[in-house]
Amino acid sequence: MLTYWANPIIFAFLNEDESLELFHKKIFSKGVICPLELMETGKKILAICHGLPLAIVVFGGLLSRRDKTFSARSKVLDSVTWHLAEDSNLCMEILALSYYDLPHYLKPCFRYLGLFSEDYQIKSKELIGLWVAEGLIQHRGNEIMEDVAEDYLEELIGRA
């Protein structure tokens, strides 16, 4: 069963060590240490985040799906066109960055989740059935639509 909820810790600011720990947990597998050549770019990204966990998780999620190279990290850093100043649209801009990184086939499914209230619980099989019935799932060879939808759901969860 899926539960859509907001984690209150997302709105507490982290110190430098906590930020680095969260960032690395999101990017690297357990026990994997960040290569030294990537540390400087990582610190620049964390400086932009100003200890905001939501921003750290979004950047970490973006980087976790890219090559673990200086070039890949630099591209993410360069793509940031907004500044984390005292901006009332900060959270929306951070979430938009994550949304725009979604593959085209996942965007309608993600948007569909917005139909449910924050604490609403829905069984994954029901959600999958709704996605299929609404025509949000693309055909993929001879696979059953529900199996494709389940893959979509797992991919969305993996990006969280």
48, exposed or middle or buried, with CB in 10 Å at 0-12, 13-18, 19+? middle
Q: Which residue has the tokens 């810790």?
A: 9
- Domain region containing 115: 107-159
Alpha-carbon separation of residue 122 from 5, 38, 70, 139 (angstroms): 12, 40, 41, 24
116 falls in which pLDDT band (50, 70, 90)?
Answer: confident
Residue 27 shares a structural domain with residue 79: yes
Residue 59 shares a structural domain with residue 90: yes
The pLDDT of residue 72: 73
> CATH no. for residue 23?
1.10.8
Mean pLDDT over each residue of the chain, to the nearest integer: 78
Do the domain assignments include residue 1?
A: no
**Domain edge (last residue) among 100, 116, 146:** 100
The Cα–Cα gap between 16 and 56 comes to 11
- Number of domains within the chain: 2
Residue 144 shares a structural domain with residue 88: no
Residue 88 shares a structural domain with residue 120: no
The pLDDT of residue 10: 40
The Cα–Cα gap between 53 and 131 comes to 30
pLDDT at 79 > cutoff 70: no
Residue 94 shares a structural domain with residue 114: no
Q: What is the pTM of this model?
A: 0.54
Residue 11 shares a structural domain with residue 88: yes
Residue 95 shares a structural domain with residue 131: no
The pLDDT of residue 94: 66
7 falls in which pLDDT band (50, 70, 90)?
Answer: very low
